[in-house]
């Protein structure tokens, strides 16, 4: 190519291809014979960063620039259509292109199209491509149309993206309108931009366009408007989610119902532009909560009344304890005293039957004295001050053994402590606990077998396996007391700890049926548990588990 044709000097790849092509083999001939308006148009086109295509002459020869080159894709028309007749170059879409070209070539008019779909062959296949373009006439000095300049943009991606967006919006609206939950969109000033069918139906508005802006203020309870403004305002300032509860009027009934409203910020180009949210009717839950609150208030009042009655009963119990310890014991002591005087001074004058009756009076008085003392002990386990101290179990057991010395000597019994330990207890209560258990073990021994009682201790750290109310992260002491006495049937293992429960008649064994109830209450006072097991005529085992340190 002769360098004097400066209109082809630049233009990148397409300028080079035009310079290298042998135009002498085409009807156009060499560039030195090309008309001035063709040269000028090509120079402008080759140096333009905007996609351009030129149809030239009667056969509409094809020219295009580097910016247009990507539109042709790969494995398609490029570069063979350079200089080719328009009908040959665009055979697959000529029926769409030719009528538009005729408007320009025959009438000299420019035309413009936006997002027009014209299929072309590119990338090795036919593709539906959307174009936004203008067709403009290129005239010679006589004013005749010599060619058509096409300025074009491939808008396929934008069109498809818009279609996907519209389809997504259509599906969103379809799903939203099927939802029983309210779905809404607002801007930062709480102007409604979208509301689904459930919301529209509730407030009685047919068209979505009629429920925009701040129309919502007409259906929200007046007392709740401040809740909305405050909640939305804070969420806008902080750009955070929010949850509000307020009342909205139902069109059908005119009644206000409670709704729980949740919103999340909506962003566009990293800027918050409003909220997307939902709302759910919670009126029934609110009503239930109100009823529950009323019920709780009623039950609280009833509980307070019960507590008052309980306090009154406690006072009565204290009065009973006072009467038991003073008023009841005084006449009882007089009965015992006069019975003893009569037995001492008038015994010889009594008949055999009379002597037996007086002996029964004395026996009954002793049992009553024992019962009163046990009842007082039982009541005091809850009312007396509890001062915990660390004691050595060995010393306490020795003390109890001394108290039981006569009984042990009489029955040739033995109490053995295998392993001792220190633990924190209320000393006088725990002494009573050990006394009751050990005295029972001696008392309920078999007639022909000397009582043999063993006490053993063990430190455990998995106390929850013993009882779910205990704690695994705390150190406990398990005290096991085993005897070889008369035992009991396993079905009575729980019952023996109840007040006044006796497994044997008072003729067989003396007792009030309160001793083990006192033991259980003392164990509970020490935040522990007690259990019993036994076999009839083989013996009993009592296990106490309580914290080593309170």
pLDDT for res 306: 76
Single pTM value for the model: 0.44
DSSP run (H or E) holding 316: helix 283-322
In DSSP notation, 51-81 reads -EEEEETTTTEEEE-TTTGGGG-SSSSTTTT
pLDDT for res 331? 72
CA distance 156 to 115: 8
Task: Give the DSSP H/E element, type plus range, for residue 543.
Answer: strand 539-547
In tens digits, the chain (550 residues) has pLDDT values of 444 566 777 788 998 999 888 898 888 998 888 999 999 999 999 999 999 999 999 999 999 999 999 999 988 889 999 999 999 999 999 999 999 999 999 999 999 999 999 999 998 889 999 999 999 999 998 889 999 999 999 999 999 999 898 888 888 888 888 888 999 999 999 899 999 999 999 999 998 888 888 889 999 999 999 999 999 999 999 999 999 999 999 999 999 999 999 999 999 888 999 999 999 999 888 888 778 788 888 888 888 877 777 676 666 655 655 555 556 666 777 777 777 777 777 777 778 887 777 777 776 676 666 556 655 665 565 555 678 999 999 999 998 998 888 889 999 999 999 999 999 998 888 988 999 899 989 988 888 899 999 999 999 888 888 888 888 888 999 999 999 998 888 877 777 877 544 444 444 444 445 778 888 988 998 899 999 998 888 899 999 999 998 8
Give the CA distances from residue 20 to residues 23, 30, 53, 147, 547, in Å, rounded to whole numbers and listed in that order.
9, 11, 19, 23, 103
The Cα 317–Cα 326 span in angstroms is 14
Q: What is the pLDDT of residue 329?
A: 65
The residues with which 476 forms a beta bridge, in sequence order, are: 460, 547
For residues 500 and 532, what is the distance between their CA atoms, to the nearest angstrom?
A: 17
What pLDDT, on a 0 to 100 scale, did the predictor assign at position 510? 45
pLDDT of residue 176: 81
Task: Say if residues 437 and 542 touch (Cβ distance below 8 Å).
Answer: yes
Cα 195 from Cα 210, distance rounded (Å): 10
Q: CA geometry: angle at 376 spanning 371 and 381, to 5°?
A: 130
Local structure of residue 550 (DSSP, 8 states): -
Structure tokens that stand for 500 in this block = 């006044």
Closest CA to 528 of 456, 473, 479, 481: 479
Domains and CATH numbers, the chain: 6-160 (3.30.450.20), 179-281 (3.30.450.20), 384-547 (3.30.565.10)
Instruction: Please tell me the total number of residues recorded for the chain in this structure.
Output: 550
Distance CA 101, CA 57 (A): 12
The dihedral through the CA atoms of 197, 201, 203, 204 has a sign that is: positive
Q: Which of 221, 228, 222 is nearest to 191 (CA)?
A: 228
Task: Report the SS3 class of residue 10.
Answer: coil
Q: Read off the tokens for 507.
A: 């003729």
CB atoms within 10 A of CB 539: 23
Q: Please, which residues have CB within 8 angstroms of residue 363's CB and are 6 or more apart in sequence? A: none
Instruction: Quote the pLDDT of residue 375.
Output: 59
Separation CA 118–CA 91 (nearest Å): 12
Across 469-518, where does the E strand assignment appear?
Answer: 476-482
Identify the sign of the CA torsion 483, 487, 489, 495.
Answer: negative
d(CA 467, CA 368): 37
Alpha carbon distance 547, 529 (integer Å): 10
Instruction: Give CA–CA dist 424/387, Å, rounded.
Output: 10
CB 90 within 8 A of CB 71: no
Please list, in sequence order, all residues whose beta carbon lies within 8 angstroms of the beta carbon of residue 64, skipping any fewer than 6 positions away.
14, 45, 51, 52, 53, 54, 72, 82
What's the longest Cα–Cα distance across the chain? 172
Which long-range CB contacts under 8 A does 455-463 form with residues at least 24 apart?
455/393, 455/397, 455/415, 455/416, 455/417, 455/418, 455/479, 455/480, 455/481, 456/417, 456/418, 456/419, 456/480, 456/482, 457/393, 457/418, 457/419, 457/420, 457/421, 458/419, 459/421, 459/548, 460/545, 463/545
Q: Token pair of 276, please?
A: 């997307």
CA distance 19 to 3: 9
| Residue 247, pLDDT score | 94
pLDDT for 323 equals: 59
């Amino acid at each position: 190519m002769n360098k004097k044709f400066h209109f082809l000097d630049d233009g990148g790849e397409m300028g080079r291809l035009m310079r290298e092509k042998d135009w002498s083999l085409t009807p156009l001939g060499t560039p030195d014979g090309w008309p001035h308006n063709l040269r000028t148009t090509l120079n402008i086109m080759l140096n333009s960063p905007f996609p351009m295509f030129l149809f030239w002459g009667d056969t509409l020869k094809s020219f295009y620039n580097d910016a247009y080159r990507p539109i042709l894709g790969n494995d398609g028309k490029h570069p063979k259509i350079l200089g080719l007749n328009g009908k040959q170059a665009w055979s697959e879409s000529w029926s769409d292109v030719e009528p538009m070209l005729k408007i320009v070539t025959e009438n000299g008019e420019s035309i413009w199209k936006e997002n027009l779909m014209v299929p072309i062959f590119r990338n090795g296949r036919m593709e539906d491509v959307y174009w936004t373009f203008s067709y403009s006439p290129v005239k010679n000095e006589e004013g005749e149309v010599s060619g058509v300049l096409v300025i074009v943009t491939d808008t396929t991606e934008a069109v498809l993206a818009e279609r996907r967006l519209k389809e997504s919006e259509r599906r969103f609206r379809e799903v939203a309108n099927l939802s029983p939950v309210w779905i809404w969109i607002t801007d930062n000033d709480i102007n409604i931009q979208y509301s689904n069918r459930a919301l529209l139906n509730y407030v009685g508005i047919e068209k979505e366009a009629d429920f925009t802006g701040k129309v919502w203020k007409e259906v929200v309870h007046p007392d709740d408007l401040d809740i909305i403004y405050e909640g939305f305002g804070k969420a806008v300032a902080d750009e955070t989610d929010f949850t509000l509860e307020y009342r909205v009027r139902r069109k059908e009934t005119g009644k206000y119902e409670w709704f729980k409203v949740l919103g999340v910020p909506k962003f566009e180009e990293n800027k918050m532009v409003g909220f997307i949210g939902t709302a759910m009717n919670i009126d029934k839950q609110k009503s239930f909560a109100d009823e529950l609150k009323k019920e709780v208030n009623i039950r609280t009042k009833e509980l307070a009344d019960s507590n008052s009655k309980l306090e009154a009963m406690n006072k009565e119990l204290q009065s009973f304890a006072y009467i038991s310890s003073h008023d009841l014991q005084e006449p009882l002591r007089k009965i015992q005293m006069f019975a003893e005087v009569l037995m001492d001074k008038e015994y010889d004058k009594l008949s055999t039957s009379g002597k037996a009756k007086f002996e029964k009076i004395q026996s009954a008085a002793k049992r009553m004295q024992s019962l009163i003392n046990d009842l007082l002990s039982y009541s005091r386990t809850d009312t007396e001050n509890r001062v915990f101290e660390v004691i050595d179990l060995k010393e306490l057991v020795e003390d109890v053994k001394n108290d039981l010395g006569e009984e042990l000597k009489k029955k040739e019994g033995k109490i053995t402590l295998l392993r001792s330990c220190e633990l924190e207890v209320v000393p006088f209560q725990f002494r009573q606990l050990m006394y009751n258990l050990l005295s029972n073990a001696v008392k309920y021994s078999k007639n022909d077998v000397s009582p043999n009682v063993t006490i053993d201790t063990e430190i455990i750290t998995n106390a929850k396996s013993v009882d779910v109310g205990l704690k695994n992260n705390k150190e406990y002491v398990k005290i096991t007391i085993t005897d070889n006495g008369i035992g009991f049937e396993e079905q009575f293992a729980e019952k023996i700890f109840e007040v006044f429960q006796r497994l044997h008649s008072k003729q067989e064994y003396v007792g009030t049926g309160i001793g083990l109830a006192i033991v259980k209450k003392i164990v509970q006072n020490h935040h522990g548990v007690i259990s019993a097991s036994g076999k009839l005529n083989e013996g009993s085992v009592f296990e106490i588990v309580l914290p080593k340190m309170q």
